[in-house]
Structure formats: structure tokens, C-alpha cells
């Protein structure tokens, strides 16, 4: 698969002529959805989901399908068969690309803030986008898209998460809140300059494409 980072938590995956887009939120490139076959949304926060952007893409791209949890789907009323509600344990495919759904809740931001629904997507049993949660798939994976910075996380927790998932590589996403210095610090801690994870930490810059 070819992975292109499109800003913050948004990535495009391309395989055999099919394009999947994950979490094209407010901090993503405006062209993130162009030509996509499916968009997969982990949860309703604006850095992952912008209703108007999804509706405009569905209207202008007849083959685009939307996959999201029930809370997001409620905000997209009227899309009919173009929209599929998914949750923990569901599986589906898009043009031969197999996807399994993991997780139920967003990570705790603060005890006073109610938790919302969050789902993660495992693609072809190889690449996992957890959204805003530290969900552990029930099988070995090759590539973890790691939420590198968030109001709900700290680097120590991310190190332990990577150790538990134990992928072959971790690609940081969800990092729009970090300066270049912040990204370098996280890379140092995750990539061997701190406690070892035994996992390759592989930053992909916004707009950059990598084979995964």
C-alpha cells in the first residue's frame, strides 16, 4: 500500500487503484478526499471530521462511500446507502481491501469530560489507525499509525502502547499540535533516544508518500 500523510490524523492509502482516506478533519489538506473511493472516520471531533467537507465530497464524487460510527453517522443524515455505520467487531471490504473495526471509546481527556465513541480501522490485517484511543488489536500488525500528541496523552503512555502492540513500524500521526522541536523530541524518545520500544519509528511528513 502507498500511504500519503495529508495533515494531522488524515492519511490516504492507495492499493490496486483504490483509495481510502482516514479522518479528513479541520487540520487536513483540503484535497485529501479528491478521487477517493471511501472515507473512514474514527470519531466526531473536528480535527477528524468536518460535516460540510464530507457532504461536499459525497455530492461531487459519485463513487465515494462513508464509513463511521453511529455518532458521526447521525450528523450525516440523508446520505442513504452511501453511508455505513460500523462498530467494534465489524468487518467490511472496499474493492477487495479488507477492513476490521476495533475499539469503542475515545481516550479520557479529563474525568469531567464525557467520553465519546471512537473506532479504529485495521486494513488488510496489516495497518491500524486507532483514532483517539490506545486500542490494541487482537493480532500482530505491521504498521501502527501512532497518535503522537493529544490533550489526552503523554509520551510515556505512547511508549507503553507501542510496546504492547509491537508492530514492525510506527508512523506518527495526530501531530498538528507539535512544533518542529516537539516532533523532534517525540521522535528522539520513541526512536531509540529514550526507553526502547524495539519498533522502527518512521516519521512521514505532511504531503509525503511512503510504501507500507
Q: Is 155 exposed, middle or buried (0-12, 13-18, 19+ CB in 10 A)?
A: middle
pTM: 0.96
List, in sequence order, every residue forming a beta bridge with 145; answer none if it has no partner: 171
Give the pLDDT band of residue 191 (cuts 50, 70, 90).
Answer: confident
pLDDT (0 to 100) of residue 193: 76
Domain positions in the chain: 2-201
Determine the average pLDDT of the residues in 187-212: 91
Quick one: how many helices (H) and strands (E) in the chain?
Answer: 4, 14
Determine the average pLDDT of the residues in 138-146: 97
pLDDT, tens only, 25-42: 999 999 999 999 999 999
User: Does the domain made of 2-201 have the CATH classification 3.60.15.10?
Assistant: yes
Per-chain mean pLDDT for the chain:
96
Distances (CA, A) of 76 to 19, 42, 59, 163: 21, 14, 12, 37
pLDDT, tens only, 64-96: 999 999 999 999 999 999 999 999 999 999 999
Amino acid at each position: 500500500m502507498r500511504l500519503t500523510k495529508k495533515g494531522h490524523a488524515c492519511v490516504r492509502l492507495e492499493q490496486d487503484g483504490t483509495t481510502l482516506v482516514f479522518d479528513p478533519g479541520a487540520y487536513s489538506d483540503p484535497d485529501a478526499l479528491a478521487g477517493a473511493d471511501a472515507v473512514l472516520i474514527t470519531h466526531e471531533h473536528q480535527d477528524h471530521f468536518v460535516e460540510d467537507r464530507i457532504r461536499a465530497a459525497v455530492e461531487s464524487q459519485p463513487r465515494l462511500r462513508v464509513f463511521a460510527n453511529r455518532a458521526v453517522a447521525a450528523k450525516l443524515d440523508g446520505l442513504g446507502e452511501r453511508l455505513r455505520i460500523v462498530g467494534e467487531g465489524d468487518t467490511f471490504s472496499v474493492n477487495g481491501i479488507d477492513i476490521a473495526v476495533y475499539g469503542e471509546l475515545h481516550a479520557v481527556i479529563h474525568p469531567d469530560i464525557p467520553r465519546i465513541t471512537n473506532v479504529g480501522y485495521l486494513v488488510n490485517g496489516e495497518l491500524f489507525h486507532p483514532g483517539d484511543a490506545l486500542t490494541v488489536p487482537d493480532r500482530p500488525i505491521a504498521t501502527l499509525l501512532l497518535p503522537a500528541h493529544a490533550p489526552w496523552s503523554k509520551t510515556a503512555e505512547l511508549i507503553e502502547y507501542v510496546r504492547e502492540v509491537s508492530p514492525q513500524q510506527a508512523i506518527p500521526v495526530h501531530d498538528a499540535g507539535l512544533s518542529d522541536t516537539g516532533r523532534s523530541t517525540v521522535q528522539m524518545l520513541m526512536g531509540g533516544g529514550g526507553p526502547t520500544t524495539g519498533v522502527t519509528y518512521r516519521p512521514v511528513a505532511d504531503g509525503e508518500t511512503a510504501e507500507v
